[in-house]
Amino acid sequence: MSASILSRLNPSFEASCPRCDGALVYDDIHFAGTPILVECHCSQCHVAYLLDWPAGHALLYPTIVEVETGVAHSDGREWYPRLLRRLIATREHPTAARTDVRGHSSGNSTAIVVNCIDFLYGHCVLKVLSGLRYARDPDVDVVMVVQKNVSWLVPSTVDIVIEVNVPLSGGDTWIAGLDSAVTSVVEGYEFVQIAPTPSQPYLTNDDLADIAPRLAPSAFWNSPNAGLHQIALLLREDRLWSGRRRAGALRLLPRDLTHQLMVRAQTRNCANVVRQVQRRCPNVQFVAIGLGRSHPLPTSIRDLRTTTITQDTERDWLTEYARSRVVVGVHGSHMLLPSAFAGAVIDLLPPHKLPNIAQDLIVISSTEPEPKLSLFRYRILPDNVGADVVSEVIVSLLEDADFHYVNMIRNRSATGVEWLRPIVWRRLDDPAA
């Protein structure tokens, strides 16, 4: 039955045998989990392969694995082919997972399969978001394959959802039953397509509206200054903002003690940021969001952290992001949705994450097409900055936004014969003084 899917998929990519450059013959397809694997063989040397369909991270790192030897051939960074080889090695003992199918066909002849399975939360979120655009096309049915932990993001506009009850840690294994579930769902379609699910998709406000129809992203520019501004501190205990206290300096201590000291350093940094910012901007309130509550925060911070995340928690947090004028956090997948819904972002980047810069941010280019406005709103700082630097940046984001907008945007409309705003004269000083 899978072979018939392959013929309906009609792969238009050509790949040659990495051993002898002979043409590959495609035989079958397997929805294995994170990858979609094409079973194929070389027309010349007859070596059998599993070729990773060009979707998801296989777009970045094309990979083909020899079935008999497990030898991988790739074009890109090595982590992905190594992961794929380990995943294929689990084929004989795949991860058991309950698979639930909900929804139904809209009667279209084409199904587009959006495979969102992954082993990293951020990858899953971006794959889901990348597939929402197809659900707004009335001429195709969308079949979205998601793990249970991100299924809350999938809107009712998606025709058919295949929910796979496998944790993120199972996303790097072969998932039992998934192939037959997808095969069964697309059985009746004349045409089947695979969504490319690029790891950094182009996203629009329509995509955000799909996942949160009643939630408008925070409007950063030209927003009234009156009232309270909310700043969200996005905290996690597996990746800490220790500021100037570096883990390396504590390396002689036991690991647990080092972690405790780093958590305390993060808490101290947060307390200092609150104190420093509120001293200069009294109309600011802080909220803490994230997983882990091993260390109490000052009472001046509304603490919404939790030790377990439910779908209700996720939705409540989404509301808080949209209420926030600024969100602050260490680089990571937990920054994706906050950056999409909050007004401005301070992203604290560890040195080892430099190759991944901006991958954790969702910047909606249709609403922020001006690069200099984006540079103002999305601040990426080294993670070893202290509370004083973060506080200065928060204050600047709050106090300098209006001036920046006038300087960068509004004055471009000037005609040369007028000012574009009313003038209020202020006496500068007394020259005789």
Chain residues in the site for Zn ion (CB under 5 A)? 17, 19-20, 22, 42, 44-45
Min CB(19)–Zn ion separation in Å: 4
Taking only Cα atoms into account, the Rg of the chain, rounded to an integer number of angstroms, comes to: 25
Q: How far is the CB of 50 from Zn ion (least distance, A)?
A: 15
Q: Shortest Cβ distance from residue 9 to Zn ion (Å)?
A: 23
Closer residue to Zn ion (CB): 72 or 192 = 72
Minimum CB separation of residue 22 from Zn ion in Å reads: 4
* Smallest gap from residue 20 Cβ to Zn ion (A): 3
Of residues 25 and 249, the one with the C-beta less far from Zn ion = 25
- Quick one: 45 or 48, whose CB is closer to Zn ion? 45
Q: Which is nearer to Zn ion, 67 or 409 (CB)?
A: 67
Q: Which is nearer to Zn ion, 17 or 364 (by Cβ)? A: 17
Residue number with CB closer to Zn ion (49 or 405): 49
For residue 265, the minimal CB distance to Zn ion (Å) is: 56
Nearer to Zn ion, 40 or 235 (CB): 40
Q: Which of 20, 357 has the CB closer to Zn ion? A: 20
Q: Please write down the HEC assignment for all residues of the chain.
A: CHHHHHHHHCCCCCCECCCCCCEEEEEEEEECCCCEEEEEEECCCCCEEEEECCCHHHCCCCEEEECCCCCEEECCCCHHHHHHHHHHHCCCCCECCEEEEEECCCCCCEEEEEECCCCCHHHHHHHHHHHHHHHHCCCCEEEEEEEHHHHHHCCCCCCEEEEEECCHHHCCCCECCHHHHHHHHCCCCCEEEECCCCCCCCCCHHHHHHHCCCCCCCCCCCCCCCCCEEEEEEEECCCCCCCCCCHHHHCCCCHHHHHHHHHHHHHHHHHHHHHHHHHHCCCEEEEEEEECCCCCCCCCEEECCECCCCHHHHHHHHHHHHHEEEEEEECCHHHHHHHHHCCEEEEEECHHHHHHCCCCCCCCCCCCCCHHHHHHHEEEEECCCCHHHHHHHHHHHHHCHHHHHHHHCHHHHCCCCCCCCCCCCCCCCCCCC
